[in-house]
Structure formats: C-alpha cells, structure tokens
C-alpha cells in the first residue's frame, strides 16, 4: 500500500529516516518540524515532497500542516507522530518545572493534536492509520527521567483509548518503540547521565539502526496488522505471531497495572 503520509519531526533523526523510507516505497510524504533548513534539506535529498515548518505543540500549526498536506498532496492515509524531546532530567525537585512540562507537551500534546486534526477526515473516509513513536521508558517508572517517562506512558494510554473510539471505523492507531537509536535526543542530559553513567555513548555502540523503525512503520501502514491497533509494538516484535496471540490474550501490548491485594 502507498498513499500520502505526514511525518512530524521529519527533518532529522528517526523522522527523516522514516520519511525517506516511505518516499522510497512510493509514498508521497510531507514533513513538519521547527527547523526549516533541516526540512528543506530533507526535501532536497528526496526524503519528502513537502516541508511544513511549525511547532508540534502548536494547535494552529498542526491543523495547518494537516490542511496543507491534504490540499497540496491529497487525503492523508498515514500520520507518523515522531516529534520528541527529552530535556528535563534529574530529581524533579532540582529541575526547571517548565522544562519538565515542555517534555510532556512535545511527547504527548503533539500526538494528541495530530490525532485531533487528522482523524476527522480519516474516519469520514473509513480508512487511515496514525503511528506514534513511544518508548519502553513509558512502561515503568524511570527515576531521573520522570517527565519523559510520564509522557510516554500517557502516550500509550492515549492511543489505547483512541483505538477503542475508532473500533469499526476502518482507522487504526499504534505506538511503536524504535529501541535505542543514535540521534540528538540520545545525547542524554548530564543530569540523567550522572545517575546512569553506563548510558553515556551507549546509543553509538549498541544502538538500533533507525531503518528498523522505518520498516516497522511500513509494515503497519500496509494494513496487514490492524488487529494490533492501540498496542505497543517494538521493532523486535514478530507482527504476524503477535496478531495471532492477541486473539487469545486481549491485553497483550497494553499498558496495565497489577493492583495490590484487596482487603478481604
């Protein structure tokens, strides 16, 4: 399957690789991001057809990116909410409270705005997919990275909830984990590395190529794995087997808490 795709944060890193992979596979791709020069460079290199500078947390900019993509390229079949940020680190009482909140805005409000802007047309057409970049950090509490961890946990719960709202519409949503990929964001803050020194440079030596995430996006965009809508999918997930297991274990790939024992 091919069509029109919109990739947020598509000017560099994983987003650019995803855009380039989609383009090479025959998709017509628009990319957004805050740095116009990076977006223009991606278009010049053939990674995308349309550059749309804008902030992923600005509802006007996000709505305009969706509108312009549909106006200039056609109806959107796929959105990849890739824009991310990890800046606030260290004990929460030591950091800048606004910096912490900014991590939430980019990682959670950004995808929420994309869903709100892109889903109406997808639901009306009865087809479409939205894929967000999540992280295993959101599956458990992560000391000294609480903002990023909370944002990614919220992202998973958001997509689980929206998947339920989309049942029967022909539209699917997914959260994927690209693993540890060497990008600007994995040059971790010093306040984080002070507590996790073994993580210094780990992405460069043990990181997963960004192409793995791009290939997972292609696979989910094909529609062959829509039974996994709402679930957390890693680049290492065996998609066909996972979809089969979901039939017998409906909570597979969902964010769940094991409650403490009840008072009898």
Residues labelled as active-site residues: 148
Structure-block tokens of residue 126: 């009865």
* Euclidean distance between CA atoms 13 and 180, whole angstroms: 12
Q: CA distances (Å), 175 to each of 10, 101, 129, 205, 231, in order?
A: 17, 21, 11, 25, 6
Structure-block tokens of residue 246: 């979901």
* Euclidean distance between CA atoms 133 and 210, whole angstroms: 12
What is the SS3 assignment for 88?
coil
Helices (H), 51-209: 59-72, 97-104, 110-125, 146-165, 190-193, 202-206
H-run or E-run covering 18: helix 13-24
Residues 6+ apart with CB under 8 A from 49: 23, 28, 29, 30, 43, 73
* Euclidean distance between CA atoms 108 and 36, whole angstroms: 23
């Amino acid at each position: 399957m091919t069509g029109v795709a919109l990739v947020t944060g598509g000017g560099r890193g994983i987003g650019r690789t995803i855009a380039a992979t989609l383009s090479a596979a025959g998709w017509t791709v628009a990319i957004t991001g805050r740095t116009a020069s990076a977006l223009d460079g991606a278009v010049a290199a053939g990674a995308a057809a349309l550059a749309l500078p804008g902030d992923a947390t600005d509802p006007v900019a996000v709505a305009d990116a969706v509108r312009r993509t549909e106006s200039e390229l056609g109806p959107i079949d796929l959105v990849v909410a890739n824009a991310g940020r990890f800046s606030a680190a260290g004990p929460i009482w030591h950091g800048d409270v606004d910096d912490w909140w900014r991590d939430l805005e980019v990682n959670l409000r950004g995808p929420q705005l994309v869903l709100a802007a892109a889903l109406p047309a997808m639901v009306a057409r009865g087809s479409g997919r939205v894929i967000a970049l999540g992280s295993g950090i959101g599956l458990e509490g992560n000391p000294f990275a609480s903002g990023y961890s909370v944002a990614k946990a919220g992202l998973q719960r958001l997509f689980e909830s929206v998947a339920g709202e989309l049942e029967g519409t022909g539209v699917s949503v997914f959260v994927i984990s690209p693993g540890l990929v060497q990008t600007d964001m994995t040059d971790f803050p010093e306040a984080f590395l002070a507590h996790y020194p073994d993580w210094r440079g780990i992405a460069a030596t043990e990181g997963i190529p960004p192409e793995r995430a791009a290939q997972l996006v292609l696979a989910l965009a094909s529609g062959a794995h829509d039974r996994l809508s709402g679930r957390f999918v890693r680049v290492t997930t065996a998609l066909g087997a996972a979809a089969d297991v979901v039939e017998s274990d409906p909570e597979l790939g969902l964010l769940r808490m094991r409650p403490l024992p009840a008072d009898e």
